[in-house]
Amino acid sequence: MKTTTLYRPVGEKEMLLIIESNYRKFPPRLNWQPLFYPVLNEEYASEISEKWNTRDEAGNYLGFVTKFEVLEEVVSKYPSQNVGARNHNELWIPSEELEEFNQAIIGNIEVTKVFKGKDFKKAVNEKIQNLLLKLKHENQTKKI
């Protein structure tokens, strides 16, 4: 069973839904979001989290980088899309296929980094606060 490692930058609301799924799946897309787009490298996911999520009030100025393994046979159904710089590669998963994609995740979704924006005040709840403390303890928190 071969897998591919993917990454996904998320804000606080999406991270909370991932936690509530026991780190097993990504939440359904909102009606105005036609695609779910995991990215192919941690550098690009970090760039999005740091430059975009930390400036987003709706995400409480937090950017999390998630890492997860997906069955290679499912990943291969979606060609890589380059959306800018050489390392800006992502997959475009139609929203209606996200549940099937979630079922192909092997193991848990991990959080590798968190970025805090200058306007971040406090976590929305205890689950997020505990995650932030855990990451800080692991020296993976970066304040921008």
Write out the DSSP string of 35-102.
Answer: EE--BS-HHHHHHHHHHTGGG-GGGTTEEEEEEEEEEHHHHTTS--EE-SSTT-EE--EEGGGHHHHH
* Residue 135 pLDDT level (bands cut at 50, 70, 90): confident
Q: What is the pLDDT of residues 119-128, one digit of tens each?
A: 999 998 999 9
Residues 6+ apart with CB under 8 A from 35: 29, 92, 93, 94, 95
Phi and psi torsions of 73, nearest 5°: -65, -30
Residues 6+ apart with CB under 8 A from 105: 24, 25, 68, 69, 70
pLDDT more than 70, % of the chain: 96
CA 111 to chain centroid:
8
Q: What is the pLDDT of residues 83-113, one digit of tens each?
A: 989 999 999 999 999 999 999 999 999 999 9
* Residue 131 pLDDT level (bands cut at 50, 70, 90): very high
Domains in the chain: boundaries: 3-143
pTM for the full predicted model: 0.91
Asked if 38 and 97 count as a contact pair (C-beta separation under 8 A), the reply is no
Asked if 65 and 9 count as a contact pair (C-beta separation under 8 A), the reply is yes
